[in-house]
Structures are given as C-alpha cells and as structure tokens.
Amino acid sequence: MKLLHKGDIIRIVAPARAITEDELMSSVHFLQEQGYQVEFGDHLFCRHHQFAGTDAERTADFQDALDTERVKVVWCARGGYGCLRIIDRLDFSKFALAPKWVCGYSDVTVFHTYINSILRQPSLHAIMPVNVQGSEAAFGSLRTMLSALETGEVSYTVAVHPLNRTGEAKGELCGGNLSVLYAVNGSVSDLNTDGKILFIEDLDEYLYHIDRIMMCLKRSGKLENLSGLVVGGMEDMHDNAIAYGKSVEEIIWEHVEEYQYPVCFGFPAGHIPDNRALILGGTSMLKVTKEHVQFQIRAT
C-alpha cells in the first residue's frame, strides 16, 4: 500500500447516511492546512431518505474514487447504515491492481472486511469527517489517521482495564464494528479470525444484543483460535426494564474467559472522541501487562 505524501488527493464520499457540507468543513480545512488536496464525490450531498443519495448514486461515487488513479485516499464521510447495500455493486478490479487507502469506521466495516478478507489489502479504521467539529480530541484522532497514512504504521501505549488478561500476541489485525461483523457473518466477506488479533467496538446497542452477537461469533468459531482480542469503545448501551445483569465488558469477557489469549478492554478507538487509527489487515503486536497495554501495527 502506497504511503500518503503532501499534495496527494483525499476524496470524501458518503456511502451510508446523508451528510451536509457544514459537517465536513472542519476536517477539510485541517487537511488542506496539512498540505493535502481534498475532493468531494459528485453525489456527496445528495439525499434519499436517510441515505446520502440512492444506492446507485452512492455506488457511483465510491466506484469513481476507487478507480481514479490520482485519488490516493477514499475517506468515508460518516457511517450510519448503507454500505452493506452497495458492497456487492462495486467492482474492485482496478483497486486490486493499484490498492489505495479506504478510511472510516462503524458502517465502513463492511468495506474493511471485504478489502482485508477478499483482496488481502490493509485499510484504515479511523475517524470520519462528521466527527471533526472543532474538538481537540477529534483533531488528535485525525492526526493519528494522517500519521498512519504517511508512515504505514501506528504504535500506542494505553492504560490497563480491570478485566484485561495479560499476555503477548502477534498476528494480522481484523475486525471493526461488532454489529457489522454480525451482519456479514456467513457472507463472502466474512472474517477468518484464526491466528489473528480481533478488534471490536460498538454503539447504541442493547446489552442482550451484544450477548447474541458474541454467541454468534463463538458458535461460528471466531473466538476460539484468536491470537488476541482488543475491545474498543462500547458506548451508549441500553438495557431493558428487567436488567440484563452484566455490563457490556462483562458480557464480552464471559464469552472469552475460557481461552488463553491476551484481552484488552477500553482501547481508545471506536465511537469515542479519542478514536485512534488502526490498520486493519496489518501485522500487529499486542502486549498486555498489569502496568500498561502496548499495541503496534504495520501495514506490511
């Protein structure tokens, strides 16, 4: 995967929920100040119900960004829902010959799983333009995205969590949004997690639904042979009138407690202000101790 250089073109597209120009401009100005060119997809500000245009319009923008040689980064404007509706309409043949970075998180996990599993190329789980609204934490997250694009690697040291399991792991990094991983389970772009480090994060789900997803991953063999597990932000979870009885972290831990690989909870990535870039499909090293967590990922 080619590294990003000053003057390169970053194309913003909206493959899921609708976006407005005002929601983009903080990130656009920041990128321009860093020496990059920013382009908009032709249908970026279209609207079709909750979507950023029809399936055909969103597909056309994403396809053009994939196929246009001078575009070096395809940056998804926001998540929501919609990527799953267009993934099978896309032709990745030109991308396979000249791969480029596809960036985003949440619903963009649909593209990450396809690019990592089918095309065997890395992609970037990172903040999106809609999240950059002047917050210093958001700009910090954006800087980690640019650093990953410019160097092809990331390295983080973060605080421990009470439920962490210590140990060291190496392997390809895979994963993304937990609900989207559930949605692609059994599809052509389903993940093979054997020997890999799995990253998961989610937002706005019921606790029983998280348990159901973890049961699905476990029953389909995706938890048993991991090299390691990294759990990011699990934000704004809901409960029923009759409480489920466990926190989201406790639910996840219950399903991996029997295994031996290292587990890290509370990693700063996902639907949180401190959303650090992760190179999915990259070679990663995880070290979980009682003092800290070290996580390093390289694109090759």
HSE, CB side, 13 Å, CA atoms: give it for residue 105.
Answer: 32
Report whether 270 contacts 235 (CB < 8 A).
Answer: yes
Each residue's pLDDT tens digit, 62-121: 999 999 999 999 999 999 999 999 999 999 999 999 999 999 999 999 999 999 999 999
What CATH architecture does domain 9-151 belong to? 3-Layer(aba) Sandwich (3.40)
C-beta of residue 79 within 8 angstroms of C-beta of residue 108: yes
Same CATH topology for 9-151 and 155-298: the answer is: no
pLDDT tens-digit map of 123-134: 999 999 999 987
**pTM beyond 0.95, yes or no:** yes
Closest by alpha carbon to 119, among 91, 139, 138, 81? Answer: 91
Q: Please tell me the distance from the alpha carbon of residue 179 to that of residue 77, in angstroms, as a whole number.
A: 19
Extended strands (E) in the chain: 9-13, 37-40, 71-76, 101-104, 123-125, 153-158, 167-177, 197-203, 228-235, 263-264, 278-280, 283-288, 293-298
pLDDT at 1 over 90: no
Domain boundary assignment for the chain: 9-151, 155-298
What pLDDT, in 10s, does the model give residues 196-225? 999 999 999 999 999 999 999 999 999 999
> How confident is the model over 3-59, as pLDDT tens digits?
999 999 999 999 999 999 999 999 999 999 999 999 999 999 999 999 999 999 999
| Those residues with Cβ within 8 angstroms of residue 140's Cβ, 6 or more apart along the chain or in another chain | 274
The amino acid occupying position 97 is L
Predicted pLDDT of residue 259 = 98
Query: Which pLDDT score, from 0 to 100, does residue 135 have?
Result: 80
Bridge-partner residues for 264, per DSSP? 230
The mean pLDDT value of the chain amounts to: 97
Q: What is the dihedral of CA 211, 280, 74, 277, to 10 degrees?
A: 90
CATH 1.10.10.10 fits 155-298, yes or no: no
Residue 102 in contact with residue 170, Cβ under 8 Å? no
